[in-house]
Structure 1
Amino acid sequence: MDTPNPLKKDDHLLDDLESIRQLLGDDDLQPPLLTDSVEGEVQIPLLFDMVGAKPVAPVPVVEAAAPAPVEKSPDALLLHLDNELRAAAQLIMQDVIDDFAPHIETEIKRRLDARMERLLSQYQN
């Protein structure tokens, strides 16, 4: 009987993940450390931060006939595409992890059982 080999599917997922990584240009990038802070981005003020208190003036309500279509700048479009690609890469990465986790768990159990047998046989002799 021919049984499908699950490793072929896993190889395909790894190839997809590698091609996405190359497409994003993340070949030499390392993930940021938890202690690293992001520079250049506006930080959200905390509740206890003092925010400039400006007097609130009532804003007159103006009805617009039709909202003008907002055109995105090329940078905004690239940023949006980059975010979508990274989200897709994250999903593929999670699929790869989900697919390989049972194989890794089985191999770890097998090796631990073999190691335990060797250790027990040493103490019994």
Structure 2
Amino acid sequence: MTPKPPNKPAELLSDLESIRALLGDDFPDASTAGEALDPDSIPLLSDIVEPAPPASTGTPADGEPREPSVRTAFRSLAERHIDHELRTAASLILQEVIDDFVPQIEAELKRRLEGRLDKLTRPPRS
């Protein structure tokens, strides 16, 4: 069941504003996304997770919690994944809204250009 897109431009503009507010100012532009990625800024697993101590012959107690750094690393990884998924979904919604507006924008530009062309090609009045 697909939702019916809003018909009013004000509703679409409101949706765009809410998406922009959700993404914030740090959302990279699609044209500069590849340029902004610095390979050295991507953390390695060894940077996030501390090496485990040597395994002992005994087994850990059943109620003993996992190492906090491992939990933090998994939580951080999950948060980054969710953030990526949200940004991807927001980008798709934004593109759909833009695609909905393109025909209206093209029609308005054509109307204005034709009006301007008529003014420029009209013979001057004497």
User: Which interval holds the TM-score relative to the shorter structure?
Assistant: 0.5 to 0.7
- Deviation beyond 6 Å, 4+ runs, structure 1: none
Q: Tell me, which stretches of 5 or more residues in structure 1 are unaligned? A: 1-5, 43-70
Task: Indicate conservation of the 8 Å contact 2:19/2:94, yes or no.
Answer: no
Match of 1:97 in 2: 98
- 1:35–1:123 distance in 2 versus 1, CA, 3 Å: farther
- 1:119–1:102 distance in 2 versus 1, CA, 3 Å: same
Q: Deviations over 1:8-44 (max 9, x none)?
A: 1x433332232232223x23666374784422138xx
TM value normalised by structure 2: 0.56
Structure 1 CA distance for aligned equivalents of residues 34 and 77 of structure 2: 28
Q: Name the % identity.
A: 43
| Letter aligned with residue 16 of structure 2 | L
Q: Does 1:18 align with 2:17?
A: yes
TM value normalised by structure 1: 0.56
Determine which structure has the larger helix proportion and give its number.
2
Once superposed, what is the RMSD of the aligned Cα atoms? 3.1
Name the SS of the counterpart of 2:92 in structure 1: helix
Structure 2 CA distance for aligned equivalents of residues 112 and 35 of structure 1: 36
Using CA pairs under 8 Å that are at least 6 residues apart, name the structure with larger relative contact order, 1 or 2: 1
Task: Indicate conservation of the 8 Å contact 1:13/1:92, yes or no.
Answer: no
Structure 2 CA distance for aligned equivalents of residues 30 and 83 of structure 1: 12
